[in-house]
A and B are shown apart, each in its own frame.
Chain A
């Protein structure tokens, strides 16, 4: 009896400090954010000492009644899906090209990491300059090729695509690195067995390699998904959400609500909605990965 107790309680006691830390720095802020989403609270109320006013679900009601907020959900979903799909595809293709260990792999790998290491603000500025309608290098090349200039950042049609391109440029290498490591970890004998059995390259890819690294692909997808949902800085610098609201992702809408409109309660409500969407998407991915791993 005593030993079973020790077996159950002792580990619990050892986990307790870590648990307390997690509660303090992770769960508590989330909960207080959720709580704040039911209140009306301006930043200057800090100074005046006015208490937040409880307004129930008003923040959510106002948000879903706002065309700009609904637009920001749509923009976020398009941005995230565009970014994740293209990054996974390109990253996978690059990883497959390089997995055989081509000449100068080290050099390529270093070059590929560069975009990840550049600060987001700088990435935003670089791309803004490259997209510039008069001085930008992209339109310069288009003109040299005899093509019409593209209104990269100042047309509703193009702005979101341009923002996606910039994000794909920065984060494809990250996906590439993860997938490359995954591919290099696939046991050689599996692939050789496939070859012996007469698999073509594509058969080997789809029936041996990809299933072997499925969970790694899922991890890369989850990481990019979470990051893309929260990405703010590059868009802030490149377009500040414009033209109109065509690139205003939810995190930017949140920023503007909190700091321009000074509505902390409503900004918290946006954060709660963002969190809910994020949890929905990532839990689907996590559950599916776990299930395939168990098989």
Chain B
């Protein structure tokens, strides 16, 4: 019932968009009579000259890298781009408030992938296929298929095999920019010094972490997140994926009390024990700092850390880091996450925003952004021999992307609430307040209640 009305809304939004597009196209046709216009077959970058696009994005390596390039887009298109940059945890509130109004301020937004289903399901962002299908809007040489598949599926697809996945019936809502997978980063210098092999399995990770924590003064094992809520859930999901644990089974019944999940939690407990003090309170900043300041020998998490590692202002370990595949437990499956860009349904200038969207994620801009600290989202970039030479992690990334798992986190509209509930329970395990079994059992019924009320068991 709710879904149907959501779809009806979407239809209305789409229809109204078609009408608006028609009006805009009519308005834009006028200057084409000017004699010095480009030939019609060629892509017209200046078709939305004079329009303003407001772009809302986070303080994040990929966006910090593309932001300085935006004036070139303005010069190319005559479109005026206003940027609104904020801390990433603040984006959600700001975007929801803007997108809930009849006419919002934002024309292009960067969203954490876990918000996409909520936004798309609520009709807050627009499907992108209608844009790509219009020849005058689709930029030539964009090469959509070059975008890393698991990233596109994870960032942009809604309504496929599962509501948050691609597959039959899925609709594209976002394009990856600042998307990431996970891998292992380790202190090459310390590993060499102590004659340690790079860990390939989770058992190896435990052994190496124990060694550093117990044998080496001032160095601990693994930099891991653990703070109550989203951060702890993220860490659990990250390790649960290779251990084979999931939040729900195929029937949406809670599955986090499974032996695999308990095994994941036992592993995390060990990492707190062998980790730097305060691991159980680390958010992503705390985790980054622990590794970047040389407190830990290993880091397994988002690949976005490579930017900060190379930044001498943030890093004490520049040039001392090696990279390897996400260690294997039952599988090598790594996370997919980070950010994608989308166009709000109530955008004032959606077509101009679409041009900016393509330009920002085009092969050429991506290549330049990567040189300035952004993570790659295109196969061509990751596999570029020249870039692989410059960035040693690209070879690892190219292989890791084969194992990137778009289904490592159930991004259903209720995820925001469940994410917090689960994260509190996981944190209680890490601080030693509850045993893994106890914590997971305590949160099973409350989470099932949320799912039941949302109608998953009808």
A interface list, Cβ under 8 A from B: 42-50, 62, 66-68, 132-135, 149, 151, 153-156, 239-245, 248, 256, 259-263
Contacts and interface: CB of A to CB of B under 8 A. Distances in A.
A241 B281 CA distance: 10
Interface residues of B, number: 46
B299 to A, nearest CB: 16
16 contacts: A44-B100, A44-B118, A44-B119, A46-B100, A47-B99, A50-B5, A67-B442, A133-B281, A134-B277, A149-B277, A240-B283, A241-B424, A242-B227, A259-B93, A261-B416, A262-B417
A263 B123 contact: no
A66 B228 contact: no
Contact of B427 (A49, A132, A243): A243
A148 to B, nearest CB: 11
Contact of B228 (A45, A155, A244, A261): A244
Given A154-B280, A154-B281, A260 B228 contact: no
B433 interface: yes
B277 A240 contact: no
Interface in B382-438: 416-417, 419-421, 424, 427-428, 430-431, 433
Interface string B259-271: 0000000000000
Interface in B260-318: 276-281, 283, 290, 293, 295
A278 to B, nearest CB: 25
Contacts of B283: 240
B96 A43 contact: yes
Contact of A47 (B100, B277, B421, B427): B100
Nearest to B450: A261
B278 A244 contact: no
Contacts of A156: 431, 433
A290 B417 CA distance: 45
B427 A242 contact: yes
Top-5 shortest CB links A-B: A242-B228, A261-B417, A44-B122, A46-B100, A133-B278
Chain A CB within 10 Å, residue with most, of B93, B283, B293: B93
A227 B412 CA distance: 37
Contact of A134 (B96, B278, B442): B278
A245 B417 contact: no
Contact of A245 (B228, B290, B345): B228
B281 A239 contact: yes
A48 B229 contact: no
Chain A CB within 10 Å, residue with most, of B124, B229, B345: B229
Given A48-B122, A262-B417, A154 B431 contact: yes
A262 B416 contact: yes
Chain A CB within 10 Å, residue with most, of B229, B276, B278, B416: B278
A132 to B, nearest CB: 7
B278 A151 contact: yes
Contact of A243 (B277, B280, B295, B446): B280
B6 interface: yes
Chain A CB within 10 Å, residue with most, of B279, B281, B346, B442: B281
Chain B CB within 10 Å, residue with most, of A43, A155, A243, A248: A243
A56 to B, nearest CB: 14
Contacts of A49: 9
Interface string B49-74: 00000000000000000000000000
Interface string B101-130: 100000000000000001101111000000
Contacts of B278: 132-134, 151, 153-154
A47 B442 contact: no
B39 interface: no
B33 interface: no
Contacts of B29: none
Contacts of A48: 5-6, 9, 122-123
A68 B228 CA distance: 12
B124 A243 contact: no
Chain B CB within 10 Å, residue with most, of A42, A155, A242, A261: A242
A47 B420 contact: no
B281 A242 contact: yes
Contacts of A133: 276-278, 281
B276 A243 contact: no
Contacts of A240: 227-229, 283
Contacts of A241: 228-229, 424
A135 B290 CA distance: 10
Contacts of B227: 240, 242-243
Contacts of A47: 99-100, 122-124, 345-346
B330 interface: no
A261 B96 CA distance: 13
A245 B431 contact: no
B420 A261 contact: yes
Contact of A244 (B100, B277, B433, B446): B433
Chain B CB within 10 Å, residue with most, of A50, A133, A155, A260: A260
Contacts of B416: 260-262
B368 interface: no
B92 interface: yes
A43 to B, nearest CB: 5
A262 B433 contact: no
Contact of B124 (A44, A134, A248, A256): A44
B420 A260 contact: yes
A96 to B, nearest CB: 38
A232 to B, nearest CB: 14
Contacts of A50: 2, 5
Nearest to B230: A260
A243 B431 contact: yes
Contacts of B290: 134
Contacts of A243: 227-228, 280-281, 427-428, 430-431, 433
Contacts of B419: 260
A47 B442 CA distance: 35
A133 B431 CA distance: 14
Contacts of A46: 100-101
A102 to B, nearest CB: 41
A187 B96 CA distance: 57
Contacts of A67: 442, 446
Nearest to B228: A242
A266 to B, nearest CB: 10
B286 to A, nearest CB: 8
A240 B282 CA distance: 11
B387 to A, nearest CB: 35
Chain B CB within 10 Å, residue with most, of A135, A244, A245: A244
A46 B98 CA distance: 11
Nearest to A68: B424
